[in-house]
Structure formats: C-alpha cells, structure tokens
Chain A
Amino acid sequence: QKEVEQNSGPLSVPEGAIASLNCTYSDRGSQSFFWYRQYSGKSPELIMFIYSNGDKEDGRFTAQLNKASQYVSLLIRDSQPSDSATYLCAVKLRGSSNTGKLIFGQGTTLQVKP
C-alpha cells in the first residue's frame, strides 16, 4: 500500500462546477497535510495546508481532513479553466516534524471544460 494515494484521473468537470479531489494516507499518526497545484511543465505551488480535523476554507478552495478515516480532500468551487492542473497531496508523517519530510501522492489531473 502506498503511503499517500490519489486517483490520477483525469477528473473532468464543467466550468462553474465543484471539483472534488481526494487523497488517502496510510500512517494514522500523520500530522500535517498539504495541497499543491502544478501546471504542466511548472513547479508545484502551495494552495492550502490543514492540520486539524474538519474544514478549512480559503476563497474558492476548501480542504477537508478526516483523520479517523485517513483522508484529506480539496474542493474547488466555481471551477475555472485556469484551475486545470495536476493537484498533489502531500503528507507529513508522524515523526517528521523536525525534518519537514513530506510524502507526495502521484497527483490528480483536473480538467475544467468551458
């Protein structure tokens, strides 16, 4: 079992819809969770991080964390064609607080169609 798993997609949604991206992780003691967006040929850029169970909202983006079920999700409301990218989930495992070491999923490709 991979430590961090994402459906590679592509996930296709129409413009204006809600895109839901999911990520599961294997280490129950994982502490911190990050979502990065990566456009083709570019480096990842941070969208959000979440540490506590529940929802965290930032503009059109909402991160949801459920530690009991070991999943973290990213919702994108009012999806725009400019949101088309690969979304990487990253998890800081238990015991990695001092090193900052992250484990990345393989990413989910999102396509927003006009």
Chain B
Amino acid sequence: DIQMTQSPSFLSASVGDRVTITCRASQNIINHLNWYQHQPGKAPRLLIYVASGLQSGVPSRFSGSGSGTDFTLTITNLQPEDFATYSCQQGYTTPWTFGQGTKVEIK
C-alpha cells in the first residue's frame, strides 16, 4: 500500500496568515493527489483534485502544488472558517490511502 505522510500534524495560526501543509507519498503517484477539509459534525469537503485543480465553489485562497511524491496545500489569508483538519489522499492505486491529517487551530 502507498503510505501518505503529512506534516505537520498540528498547526497553530492566526487569521490572515499563510499556511502550508505538506504531503509525501511513499512512491511516485504522478499527480493523483487530492486534498480535503473536514470539521467535526460536517461532511468532509474536496478542496483540491489532481494536485492543483481547485474544486468548484472552493475559495481561491486555497491552492495545491506538487508532483511525484511531494505535494503542498497552501492557504493564504487564513479565514475563521478555515480552522479545520486537512487530509491528503492518493488516488493512484487501490487501496486509496489518506494522510493522517493536519489540524489547523487558532493561535
């Protein structure tokens, strides 16, 4: 199975900050990498697909980059509603696997 490792696991930030989360795959997954946001009691939400595609309805302050094994999710101008957990997921091969999640909390 492909292992997905995110860093950091926890991040403390302020409104207006720029935040970067990284995700590393244990093997080359080309660009088959997606990012999700999830908050307690809510359905998870797709933010970024195939590494850099912005899902419809997602604010442009979210962006993704990377290829091969190393990927990045960046949130610029962090907003109060962005405090959540973010997870990457590889869709290169089954079983699809997720990173362990990065919790973004208010400083």
The answer to whether A binds B is: no
- A interface, CB within 8 angstroms of B: none
